[in-house]
Amino acid sequence: MPLLRQSGLRANVKLHFLFKFCTSKHFHCRLIQIGEEFCGSASEGLQDSIRKQSLNYFHNYHRSKMDELRMFLENEGWEL
């Protein structure tokens, strides 16, 4: 039963992570929209930077989770 509680907690943490990321992305999009209305510029450089940073963040997050999974699989006692 503790394992089920732990995996439920992990699911909540993952959902919280995605919620925070989506909220942040919405905030950045709104800032870009305000900048466009104020300056009349589409701010392609800013949009490109946000896109690159977002991809980098997801890549690093995925890599860390894959490392965590690898360590779990290596240390788990497997029985046939």
The pLDDT value recorded for residue 55 is 84
The pLDDT value recorded for residue 72 is 84
Dihedral angle, C-alpha 72, 75, 77, 78, nearest 10 °:
70
pLDDT at 13 over 80: no
What predicted TM-score, i.e. pTM, was given to this entire model?
Answer: 0.54
pLDDT one-digit tens code per residue, 26-72: 787 787 888 888 888 777 887 888 888 888 888 888 888 888 888 88
